A and B are shown apart, each in its own frame.
Chain A
Amino acid sequence: MKFEDSEIPEGINVTQVHPLKELAVLLGGAAIVIVLLVYALGLSAGYLARYIPFETELKLASPFAQDAGQPTEILDYLEKLKERVVDVMDLPEGMTIRLHYSDADTVNAFATLGGNVVLFRGLLEKLPNENALVMLMAHEIAHVKHRDPIVSIGRGLAVSTVLGLVLGQSDLDVLGNTGLYTILHFNREMEADADREALEAVYKIYGHTSGAEDLFHTIQTYREELDEKEGPAFLQTHPLDQKRIDAIDNYSDEHHWAKEGKPAPIPPSFVEALATDR
């Protein structure tokens, strides 16, 4: 019997793969998994959030609630207009809209938790007629009706929770004072649905949809002015104004709603009050 030493062969016990390639593959895989997880959880959280009762949403929003303020010329008119809009919008029982007016220059308006709708002077004073104002108000109220704020917050909360768990960072304070507004992001479908609902309200109030598209013309003009001044990329959540104008135009046609008509003017006293309130 002979006893001999054998050389240890290379490349059998160790897989020949570059460590950096291995790292890239694994990290890529992990990224895909996280993205899918976040997407799936965000969707399901948004879906479930619609079933949160409105009273619960009110309780959630109560720490952030503000007073409607002293009745003034401005609020008085806006409140009356709101009543007319709410009457035709067929809101679910128990859902109340709390309207807020801000004298800031911001050209914007938004709906948030608890049926709170905020209108800024900056946008109000640019609107050419009452129909456009009704379109704006009904659009924001439609967000509340569709439960978009709670869905958006539900999604945001789920996403940040998952990211917090996976990446080991606790950024869970999203219901903090600032988080409440910055997290609100309505997607394009939500906007389109709200546009349609709002257009219907305009039609029900005035018997025609004329003037509704002026809201988007106003925003479009403002955006173009701003682009010239500061470059693009502002108000990105409401993109493609022309598409939205076309979309509501088509929607009127589908329902054979009259598109011609004389838009109602905004009362001069209201315009005056806005001009002095700064």
Chain B
Amino acid sequence: MMDLIIFLSLLVLGYLVGQWTEKRHYRSIREREQQLKGLPIVTYRFPPKNKIFDQRLVTGNVVISVDYFKRFIAALRNFFGGRVTSYESLLDRARREALLRMKEQAEAMGAAYVFNVKYETASISKGRKNAIGSVEVLAYGTAMINGSNDA
């Protein structure tokens, strides 16, 4: 009985807090995406030839943890199969946040573009039982900075 009460309160807490932080995070993501709209990022690997840029590595890294409610839903999903919708938003947030952090770094350098943008995704606490899973997303690329022509 005690176990059930603990479980239910964790579930409710996970749902309320998880949903609230997710909404807040999405609001912040959309806001900053608008702010950094002026800095194009592309996956193209070759720099433009007509102009000379300084090139530097920029990275954005984020770790997001799943809440109890999401994990419970995902566990049930594992049983039936289908889209793990509760993790979809988690990864969506992580990717966009990583990209934003990378862009912020590039912007601080005064970059005109970021080229060759790539993602790495890793799961932390993999394989450990009963550990709440976290996901790490790393976005990296080459910042193209309008530089001196002395190269």
Contact = CB atoms under 8 A, between A and B. Distances in A.
A3 B113 contact: yes
B9 interface: no
Interface string A146-180: 00000000000000000000000000000000000
A30 interface: yes
Given A13-B88, A15-B83, A1 B15 contact: no
B54 interface: no
Given A19-B15, A19-B19, A22-B85, A13 B92 contact: yes
A29 B37 contact: no
A3 to B, nearest CB: 5
Contact of B80 (A5, A13, A20, A29): A29
A1 B48 contact: yes
A107 to B, nearest CB: 35
B89 to A, nearest CB: 5
Nearest to A20: B15
Given A14-B85, A15-B85, A23 B37 contact: no
Interface in B50-83: 69-70, 72-73, 76-77, 79-80, 83
Interface in B78-104: 79-80, 83, 85-86, 88-89, 91-92, 96
Contacts of B86: 19, 22
B132 interface: no
A13 B90 CA distance: 10
B42 interface: yes
B40 interface: yes
A19 B69 contact: yes
Among A1, A7, A19, chain B packs the most CB atoms within 10 A around the CB of: A19
Counting chain A residues whose Cβ lies within 8 A of the other chain, the interface size class is 10 to 19
Contacts of A27: 76
Contacts of B44: 3
Counting chain B residues whose Cβ lies within 8 A of the other chain, the interface size class is 20 to 34
Given A22-B73, A26-B73, A26-B80, A15 B96 contact: no
Contacts of B73: 19, 22-23, 26
The secondary-structure label for the interface of chain A is: loop
Interface in A1-24: 1, 3-5, 7-8, 13-15, 17, 19-20, 22-23
B126 to A, nearest CB: 22
Contacts of A3: 40, 42, 44, 48, 113
B38 interface: yes
B76 A26 contact: yes
B33 interface: yes
A14 B89 contact: yes
B141 to A, nearest CB: 12
Contacts of A30: 76, 79
A8 B96 contact: yes
Contacts of B41: 5
B145 interface: no
Contacts of B70: 19
Contacts of A5: 36-41
A17 B85 contact: yes
Nearest to B39: A5
Nearest to A169: B3
5 contacts: A3-B44, A4-B40, A5-B41, A14-B88, A19-B69
Interface of B: 15, 19, 33, 36-42, 44, 48, 69-70, 72-73, 76-77, 79-80, 83, 85-86, 88-89, 91-92, 96, 113
Give the top 4 A-B pairs by smallest Cβ distance, nearest first: A26-B76, A5-B40, A15-B85, A3-B40
Interface of A: 1, 3-5, 7-8, 13-15, 17, 19-20, 22-23, 26-27, 29-30
